[in-house]
Amino acid sequence: MQEGSKVMDNDYSIVLTGSAGQGIQVVEKLAVNILKNAGYNVFAVKKYMSRVRGGVNSTEIRISSKKVRAYKDKIDILIPFNKQSLENIKERIDRDTLIILDEKIAENIDLSKYDARIFDFPISKKANEIKSKILINTVSTGILCSIFDIDFEYAESVIREYFDKKDKEIVENNIEAFKSGIEIFKNKGRDTPLKKTELDRNKSKKELLINGSEAIAYGSLAAGCNFVCAYPMSPSTEVLQLFAGHAEEFGVVVEQIEDEISAVNMAIGAWFGGARAMITTSGGGFALMAEGLSLAGMIESPLVMHVSQRPAPATGLPTRTAQEDLNLVVNAGHGEFPRIVYAPNTLEDGFRLAHKAFNLSDKYQIPVIILTDQYYVGSYYNFKIPDIDSFKNNKYFIKTDEDYKRHKLTENGISPRGIPGYGKGLIRTTGNEHLENGMITEDRNVRNKMQQKRNKKHEEVTDEFVSPKFYGSRNYDYLIVGWGSTYNIIREAVDNIDRDDISILHFSQVYPLNNSVKKYFNNIKKSIVVENNSTGQFRKLLKSELNIECDGSILKYDGRSFSVEGIKNQIQNMC
């Protein structure tokens, strides 16, 4: 057993790694909730392979007395569940890393080649003594919590709630396993040098601990979403599962459809009938929905679509992360019609923009796309519970009269929207070009007027632009530009650089863009765009839409997210 004397900082990065099926998620779920109950701020994110069993998966948990929101390469505490996992992550281990090993794993490893502090514990032995090897997860959780001197009172309720649907014996075995982990650490690891932290436990009770999928789902619920349909496709599936698990509770109709084409058409039909509907999918599924998206553009139907990105083309890396579908969602669908594309930058932002998506889709009768990615939906942290009463909803359909015209020409391009059975009017529309009353036409003058009418809404929604988030000194020479899920990583990297001449401009609305952002690019030395793709899609969009010519890109496209250290190093090299 190798020991060190360094007292670590008040910000700890914990990595759990093992094969699919070894129960890493059990430790993750228990640990983050126990640590949050004890008063820590928590951030966690998963990296996993496309395997039901085997492979190498990992979860990073960062805890701190201050807010933490981003992924780091540095590992302070590592708990590997097998030899392969330890070997796979060795490039992130340094001499300050504390490695917690099961004795049986330690017996089969040459520990001398790891320049780290290694503690071996009888984890599997204790799990077998209690009931079975499966309890190594809860024993490990006990050891981890004991490292931070977490009292059992903060753990018991979490363990009982997590195993609530299991037999009473299983619950009690896990309680015993957790306590045994505490005892193991006290007997063998009490000299582990971690700094004691004073925590505000009352504050943590007032905060939510949710992930990106939950942020999108809860924001949609706050907006009155009452119909969700999808064909499951990672990494978007959890949104569907969340709605399905609470469908009766929240009065939501949830349909798992046979394919994506059916999903988009069913959602359009639901909006036609007066529902507030959402689709959740990934890039490959969205590609199949392009015809339906275009139909929504022609019949001027509201439509909210959540698209969670993963590396492509084709199946690509189905469980990894990317920002590769920006071009797709901005340009998808044959013909020309307006749309809005949001790319939330924080979980709070996801809640807010999901809510906004429904109201603006309803108001302007256009598709609104919420663009996330695997890193975003799989990350979670604690933040203050939003004031739900402040989220107001407006429904824009009208009670029709006998002279109602579904596609009436108006000055702002927005026709009054009626729904069947609400009023005396006939609700008629078609995917063909149409007259004001919805009947098919090929008249060239009508065609021009209808296309101009639809185009007018693009101007209207551009005025509803969500301004990008600016962070840093106003007297900057270098501007770091980002969009979507990279915000917290870029922000922490720039904070660590600690230079007044570097600031951040981060977009959560990526289409349409507004000329008001041009002012940020005036009289600076360099602008650099950070994005998880290989061709600089957003950099090109800034050029094509606003004629903003950025000076450089920081790109990553290996299926992994940026890290704080990686962004920091590249910015320093370029600025």
Contacts of 327 (CB under 8 A, 6+ apart): 537, 541
Asked if residue 204 is part of any domain, the answer here is: no
Whether 457 and 504 share a structural domain: no
Whether 81 and 183 share a structural domain: yes
Whether 250 and 372 share a structural domain: yes
Domain end position, chosen among 358, 389, 420: 389
| Mean per-residue pLDDT of the chain | 93
- Specify the pLDDT at position 189: 63
Asked if residue 272 is part of any domain, the answer here is: yes
Q: Is the pLDDT of residue 216 over 70?
A: yes
Domain end position, chosen among 165, 199, 233: 199
* Domain region containing 541: 469-574
CB 478 within 8 A of CB 525: yes
CATH number at residue 329: 3.40.50.970
Asked if residue 162 is part of any domain, the answer here is: yes
Whether 148 and 264 share a structural domain: no
- Specify the pLDDT at position 153: 86
* Helix (H/G/I), strand (E/B), else coil: 10: coil
Whether 452 and 474 share a structural domain: no
CB 79 within 8 A of CB 120: no
CATH number at residue 132: 3.40.920.10
Q: How many Cβ atoms sit within 10 Å of the Cβ of residue 122?
A: 17
pLDDT tens string 429-461: 999 999 999 999 999 999 999 999 999 999 999
Confidence of residue 6 (pLDDT cuts 50, 70, 90): very low
Asked if residue 103 is part of any domain, the answer here is: yes
- Specify the pLDDT at position 76: 94
- b/e burial code for range 52-87 (CB count within 10 A of at least 16 → b): eeebbbbbbbbbbeeebbbbbebbbbbbbbbeebbe
Q: Is the pLDDT of residue 196 over 70?
A: no
Nearest CA to 81 among 138, 2, 136? 136
Q: Is 424 left (phi over 0), alpha (psi -120 to 50) or beta?
A: alpha
Q: Between 112 and 139, where is the model more confident?
A: 139
Whether 445 and 351 share a structural domain: no
Asked if residue 2 is part of any domain, the answer here is: no
Whether 428 and 570 share a structural domain: no
Asked if residue 171 is part of any domain, the answer here is: yes
Whether 385 and 407 share a structural domain: no
Confidence of residue 79 (pLDDT cuts 50, 70, 90): very high
Domain end position, chosen among 175, 199, 223: 199
pLDDT mean over 32-41? 91
Whether 427 and 343 share a structural domain: no
pLDDT tens string 340-373: 999 999 999 999 999 999 999 999 999 999 999 9
Asked if residue 382 is part of any domain, the answer here is: yes
Whether 347 and 436 share a structural domain: no
pTM of the predicted model as reported, rounded to 2 decimal places: 0.94
Whether 221 and 95 share a structural domain: no
CB 396 within 8 A of CB 417: yes
Q: How many domains, the chain?
A: 4
Whether 114 and 219 share a structural domain: no
